[in-house]
């Protein structure tokens, strides 16, 4: 077995969140990042319609589905397939393609989203500058999509990676939302450059 695979396996075995996920119904340890942020920020209060961008294998959709009432609805999108989740309309496709973004909008069926979640992350090439540019490009796409679908007062939670472009992105959020906050849940590994930005109170 390659050395990097061995160390990944070792880390997974030791990781309490991966252990917890294996023992629970959640498909990925990522669920604990969302639940931690939710416990602090009450993301799902008065929320009926959610969009989950970069949703596969589906633990954020699972968690969101559990927080919504019976009328709740989630539109989830990923380039990879995803097993069904209650209350979720899943669209399989590349979010950088216009027709996929349009399909997400149609999936909302005329409703506005109260909350847009994005855990989308590009496949890493290992070249830090181009990975960073691709990740910021995806974040910008999520933001322009949110401009089209968010209800007034709605919120967005988006994953970013420390590096070029994140300060500018936070400024763009501050121009549109009442409040912009940074979150680094404990379930997000210290060694990872990822963090989340929560912007609340979309102002049209």
Binding flag, residue 28, ligand SAM (CB under 6 A): yes
Q: Which residue in the shown chain puts its C-beta closest to ligand SAM?
A: 54
Taking the least distance from each CB to ligand SAM, the nearer of 20 and 153 is 20
Task: From 88, 197, 101, 181, select the one nearest 149 (Cα to Cα).
Answer: 101
Site for ligand SAM in 114-143 (CB under 6 A): 119-122
Among 15, 38, 79, 184, binds ligand SAM (CB under 6 A): 79
Please state the closest distance from residue 178 (CB atom) to ligand SAM, in A.
25
Among 44, 60, 161, 196, binds ligand SAM (CB under 6 A): 60
Residue 159 appears among annotated catalytic residues: yes
Taking the least distance from each CB to ligand SAM, the nearer of 30 and 143 is 30
For tokens 């969302």, the residue is 34
Please state the closest distance from residue 171 (CB atom) to ligand SAM, in A.
24
Catalytic residue, candidates 39, 159, 179, 184: 159
> How many Cβ atoms from other residues are within 10 Å of residue 123's Cβ?
7
Return residues touching ligand SAM (CB under 6 A).
27-28, 30-31, 54-60, 77-80, 94-96, 119-122
As annotated, the active-site residues are 159
């Amino acid at each position: 077995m390659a050395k990097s695979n061995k160390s990944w396996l070792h880390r997974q075995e030791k990781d309490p969140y991966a252990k917890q996920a294996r023992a629970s119904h959640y498909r990925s340890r990522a669920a604990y990042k969302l639940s931690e942020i939710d416990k602090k920020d009450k993301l799902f209060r008065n929320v009926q319609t959610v969009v989950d961008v970069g949703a596969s294998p589906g633990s954020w959709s699972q968690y969101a589905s559990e927080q919504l009432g019976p009328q709740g609805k989630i539109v989830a999108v990923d380039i990879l397939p995803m097993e069904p989740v209650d209350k979720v309309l899943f669209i399989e496709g590349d979010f950088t393609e216009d027709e996929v973004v349009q399909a997400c909008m149609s999936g909302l069926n005329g409703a506005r989203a109260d909350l847009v979640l994005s855990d989308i992350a590009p496949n890493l090439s290992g070249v830090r500058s181009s990975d960073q540019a691709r990740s910021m490009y995806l974040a910008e796409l999520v933001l322009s999509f949110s401009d089209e679908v968010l209800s007034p007062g709605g919120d967005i939670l988006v994953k970013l990676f420390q590096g070029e472009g994140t300060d500018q992105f936070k400024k763009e959020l501050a121009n549109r939302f009442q409040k912009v906050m940074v979150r680094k849940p404990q379930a997000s590994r210290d060694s990872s450059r990822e963090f989340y930005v929560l912007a609340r109170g979309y102002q049209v």
